[in-house]
Structure 1
Amino acid sequence: MLQSRSGGARKGTAAEETGPMSIGAVLNLLRDEFPEVTISKIRFLESEGLVEPQRTPSGYRKFSAADVERLSRVLRLQRDHYLPLRVIREQLDALDRGEEIRLPGPTRPFDPLDGFPVPNSGPDGEATAGSDGPATSRVGRAELLAATEADEEQLREWESYGLIGPARDGGYDAETVTVARIVADLGRYGLEPRHLRVVKAAAEREAGLVEQVVAPLRRHRNPQTRAHAETTARELATLAVRLHAALVQSALKTRLH
């Protein structure tokens, strides 16, 4: 049965709001749990019919507490279950009819460095041959297409530009699904895979910088030092992602004002 993530309302959530809210107020409420959400994302979900706020005579959106809870549910289903919007809409319609909904268990949270190449260690602490990791968390091609609401032609194009690719067993891991969904979302704004090659190249350069910093630690014979290398790499990756986002925001502020 589909259930809310928490048992009660948190301070500052829509459950405490009594009157209609602007889209900016809704954004502030949602960002507590979904820091990546934007006004454009809220408008997109509205255009897809997943939420229907009231409109003032002058055309401004006014969201109710129920609208915000509905948006939270949509974002949670996307994040935790990789459900395409078409399926989410069906789930919400079923809930509105009072039906019980069953979902697969949530996937593990996205880690920006889960794919960082850390060598496997044998019983003596020496590095062994690399691995693609366990295949249990991977999805097949059909599941990836369903999660992104894309078709075969689009998927082949993403792969041809090196934006995503299958593992050795032909499956796609959670991080690849996340990348594919973002590529699909950008495509709805007119950004094509050829436009995203520069983003891919920048990500590879940033990963290379991280690898340079932690490479000496990864080669160390002490297992604790190697473990520290992985922790350091994850911290560096998080900082790199934050820096990239801040630089983009700064550049846009300069260009748009």
Structure 2
Amino acid sequence: MAVRLTIGRLLAELTGEFPDLTPSKIRFLESEGLLTPERTASGYRTYSAADVERLRYILTAQRDRYWPLRVIKEALDALDRGLAEPDQPDRLPQVPAPGADPDVPRGTELRTQQALSLTGPELRSAAGLDRGTFHALESYGLLEPDPTGHFDANDLQIATAAARLAAHGLEARHLRPFRTAADREIGLVQQALSTHRGVARDDAATELLTACIALHVALVKARIDL
């Protein structure tokens, strides 16, 4: 169980940095809604490590930035909502720059195919598909052999994912919207690339493919509530 501090121990923790800190000031900040300590059954305030850091932030903002309580409240609210401290300490918290999503491959990875050529039986065996599901995936356009009747590394990924979904009752006919959505996304990319040529087209394709996958992943993550 995390250790919680009494107001006396909280003062002992912070008065070295803030000699003017008093119990009455701590209670005042609580009354203003900047601190929300828990209370014991007998009514005594107790403070967590997060409360200590929050109070340190408040006191530092008052002492070093000369911020009024109204501005400090805005800053604390922003931090509570996930905004980040700015590089310049006299500014309010800012929206953090989105980091690269590890679930999103780069466009160059999407466009680079592993050299692999599989027969239908090899693909079925590797993916763990039964013959009926395999042919259903072909009939719904999720698996497409090349002119020689072979399948590539992307087909192996598709077949493996389809097998995992089939184990949960999702049949090939349920997966057709995935193919339709993918075709529409690729159509949009091709339309956007129509004005590009050469190296510029390759660079634009990489950026567009990455952005499309990032948007898809973000939309899925935003709606997951399991």
TM-score of the superposition, structure 1-length normalised? 0.43
**Structure with bigger gyration radius:** 2
TM-score using structure 2 length? 0.49
